[in-house]
Amino acid sequence: MRLQFEEFLAAPECKIMIVTYPDIFQIEAKLKYGKFSREYQDLSAIIMLDSGDLKKIGIKDGDPVAIKSEGMNVVVTAKESEEEHPGIGYMPESVWSNILGVYPVSATVSRSQQEIPAIDELLSRSVS
């Protein structure tokens, strides 16, 4: 694995409040392909962020971000919202969002080099 210069710098963080929302396409993917499918993961392990917040942490639409709340953290894909909502991140209701706690959750979000964890990995991490 090639190390990049940015990995040696502390990634800038942004404090946000996370709120969950329902997504019909994600519910459909769950029913059609199951919760362990790639289709479901791609529509679930995401966070919608304000364009200003994306700039603050130095990432662009589609980059992975680490979300840290009290005691728990998870890596998901950041998506740029069309509307403005600085300081608020929206996540679809799923195990990737629920693992962070009861909503609304106060958290920090920062750039990440890690891959999005699959459900099995996420849950096995929460056991250890």
Bridge partners of residue 83, in order along the sequence: none
Stretch near another protein under the rule CB under 8 A, chosen from 6-14, 56-64, 109-117, 120-128: 120-128
Residue with smaller CB distance to another protein, 68 or 85: 85
Bridge partners of residue 91, in order along the sequence: 20
Is 75 a residue that touches another protein (CB under 8 A)? no
Rounded distance between C-alpha atoms, residue 84 and residue 65, angstroms: 19
Stretch near another protein under the rule CB under 8 A, chosen from 4-12, 13-21, 54-62, 109-117: 13-21
Distance (Å) of CA 79 to CA 1, 8, 51, 127: 26, 25, 9, 29
Stretch near another protein under the rule CB under 8 A, chosen from 7-15, 23-31, 57-65, 109-117: 23-31
CB of 10 to another protein, least distance (A): 27
Give the distance, in angstroms, between the CA of residue 37 and the centroid of all CA atoms in the same chain. Answer: 17
